[in-house]
Structure 1
């Protein structure tokens, strides 16, 4: 499982030995926090893949890891099966245009990115599960029940 570390200046995706081997990458993926433009939680990461793996490993609907090259830029991909994932669009990063990462901590990452960062890298889960200010939403107004229109019933068949 991928480990996400976040500090005040950057997000680091620490890779396990297996992830490094399958993605053909020796170093962790480091992205400046200022370069993160948008973060989305997705249920099906396979629909977000674009381009071809080069270098990378892909077993359809099972695993996709490595660098995906496309006309829109290079994406770093760490996808496992059909599990919830996070898509991070980048703007201004020298190496990648997008990160697609399968993690069960996607919501924690989104919450942690909204907080002011620490000077030392902290695991995203630890940062997000600490005291988080909760914004209360106003309750939605209840929907009015629909009444059938007069004459809207079908005529009886003869």
Structure 2
């Protein structure tokens, strides 16, 4: 959210095998410490072997993401890059991710999902702790 405006951002990740003992983390559009943090969470809590890869993150369009609702998208992009499995293009990821790997609810979820639906997204991955008050034209995963 930017004020009361919902923005959809595309997060891109590239994972390249490293020959060095300390893998490199590079980010544009998101704080590099988040890339480091969520690489560790994915490694420890989800079994995604990030330690063998240099990881490069980019937010398309020059946006700078600061709010925690993009955490799940960042994790999904990293896991997708490390496992070399593309994410579905019709799916959005919304949620704050904790150090235990849990996905937490985000504020104004209905507004965000309505905007995603308006832009043509068909599915959304959100926290299982979310309670939606109204039916939306998105499949909730």
TM-score normalized with structure 1 length: 0.27
Larger radius of gyration: 1
**Which structure carries more strand by proportion?**
1
TM-score normalized with structure 2 length: 0.29
